[in-house]
Structure 1
Amino acid sequence: MTAHHEDPAAPGRSGPHATADAAPDSVRRVRTEYAPDHDGDPDPGEIVWTWVPYEENDGRGKDRPVLVVAREAGGTLLAVPLSSRRHDRDREWVPIGSGPWDREGRDSWAGLDRVLRVHEDGMRREACALDPTLFGQVAARLRERYGWS
């Protein structure tokens, strides 16, 4: 798997379609609705690849999978990062198993403590739709944590 750490043209890295941190506590009127449509565009319930800036916000980051959890009124999407690092007993992470988003077939976890704003033109590719039950578990935890509908 090629990580696009150094690729200045990586989708979502810069410009008007850059992936950015969202302030999930201030996001209002967001519906976490499972709505995958395998059309190449990111939809809630799908795992897509985009540039994710490091939390230090120093211009560094990497191309990684994220789970799209909601569409905002302005057309942007909210997503949570995925990790293959084990987070078995960490309440900030929801286990989602393995899938085609990880070429090595490793189990993954969806992070709840960081919400990203993703643009349709700021993603590299659509990986797959997550199982609806697993999506529901992630969405329920996000609604509980941030008061989303």
Structure 2
Amino acid sequence: AGRRSRPPGRPGGRTTAARPRPAEIWWATVPYEDGPGSKDRPCLVLSVHGKRARVAKITSKFHDERAGVIPLPPGSVGGGQGRTSFLETDEVREVPVWDFRRRVGVVDPVLWDQVRYLAG
């Protein structure tokens, strides 16, 4: 019998141990809002249902023309530069749980209380 070279789970070796949870900030492959394709970017997990998670994207660019943009503390997305990031609450996305790459941390409880309604 052959030996297994990686643990069971998603191809590539990812297992359910790294499952995203609500109120966590992750780097994930998030679909674009206005067309095909996706981008590796930080996001806030709003809810997880089965194999899909609802997320709000986080960006480094402030869009003052958009409602629902919330500044995050510097370093919230785990970058070494400590840049300020912005949570965009006006558009949420659905992301397969296997597209989550790296957990950064948990969002501030006060901020979570402001956005948890987006979980649907």
Residue from 29, 33, 39 that aligns with 1:51: 29
C-alpha distance in structure 2 between counterparts of 1:89 and 1:132, whole Å: 26
Equivalent position SS for 1:112:
strand
RMSD after superposition: 2.2
Q: Does 1:95 align with 2:71?
A: yes
Unmatched segments (≥5 aa) in structure 1: 1-38
Please name the residue that 1:76 is paired with: 52
Q: What secondary structure sits across from 1:64 in the alignment?
A: strand
Per the alignment, residue 66 of structure 1 pairs with 43
Q: CA deviation at 1:88?
A: 5.0
Task: Report the alpha carbon displacement of residue 89 of structure 1 after superposing the two structures with TM.
Answer: 6.7
Bigger fraction of residues in strand: 2
How many residues are treated as equivalent by the alignment? 103
Change in 2 beyond 3 A, CA 1:95/1:138 = farther
Quick check: 2:52–2:97 contact (8 Å CA) kept in 1?
yes
Structure 2 spans left out of the alignment, 5+ residues = 1-16
Q: Is the 8 A contact 1:88 1:95 kept in 2?
A: no
Q: How far did residue 108 of structure 1 move?
A: 1.4
Q: How many percent identity over aligned positions?
A: 35
Change (3 A) 1:89 1:102: farther
2:81 is the counterpart of 1:109: no
Displacement of 1:102 after TM fit? 4.3
Alignment of 1:6-21 (within 5 A): none
Question: Whose relative contact order is higher, 1 or 2, with alpha carbons under 8 Å and at least 6 apart?
Answer: 1
Shift of 1:101: 1.5
TM-score (norm 2): 0.71
Give CA deviations for 1:25-72 in whole Å, capped at 9, x if unaligned.
xxxxxxxxxxxxxx632100101111123223233x320001001122
Larger radius of gyration: 2
Given the two structures, how large is their TM-score scaled by the length of structure 1?
Answer: 0.59
Structure 2 letter corresponding to 1:97 = P
Q: State whether structure 2 residue 111 is matched by structure 1 residue 134.
A: yes
Task: Tell whether the 8 Å contact from 2:60 to 2:85 is kept in structure 1 after alignment.
Answer: yes
Listed as ranges, the matches of 1:5-44 within 5 Å are 40-44=18-22
> SS state of the match for residue 55, structure 1?
coil
